[in-house]
Structure 1
Amino acid sequence: MSLKAEELKGLEINHHVDGVGEVCPHTLNIALSALKKAKPGEVVVEETDHSIATKTIPAAVKMNKIAEVLGIVEENGLYKIYLRKL
């Protein structure tokens, strides 16, 4: 599922994690740690400036069936990766 930026920004965020300044695999570890704490159905958003994370995080959570990728919003060189825990 991929929501539009306006829809993503309107979601209730249950967990917001900061991955700015971090690189892979640490950005993935930050997302996985937050998802581990989240309850099914909760939304986790990781903010990062590492563009590669926009590929690795969605691929890992899909492959491991941990979360649904709701979408990614890029603004001013920062990416917000929206995930819903399964």
Structure 2
Amino acid sequence: MDDNAHTPPRAAIDPSRECPDCHEPWLRPANLPGRYRCVYCLHRFELASVCPNCGEHSTIVRMSSTAILKCNHCGESMLQPI
């Protein structure tokens, strides 16, 4: 039996969508705009408009395919646990 039968192809995993909690590449958009859930550790996150690290304000683009999850000023995650 092929051990890789249940492993998704590398192209299907988006490394820019890394979970801030477990750091696995399984962060996926949830049903609500600006919400994400890690399908590995099941933690939920919300996209914040103010960076929790440096306090820089950023415009939220809530479209899941174009959402910027990192602060443009300091590079930290803009996701807050909910």
Q: TM-score range by the shorter chain?
A: under 0.3
TM-score computed with the length of structure 2 as normaliser: 0.25
What TM-score results when the alignment is normalised by the length of structure 1? 0.24
Higher normalized contact order (CA 8 Å, seq sep 6+, divided by chain length): 1
Quick check: which one's strand share is greater?
1
* Bigger Rg, which one: 2
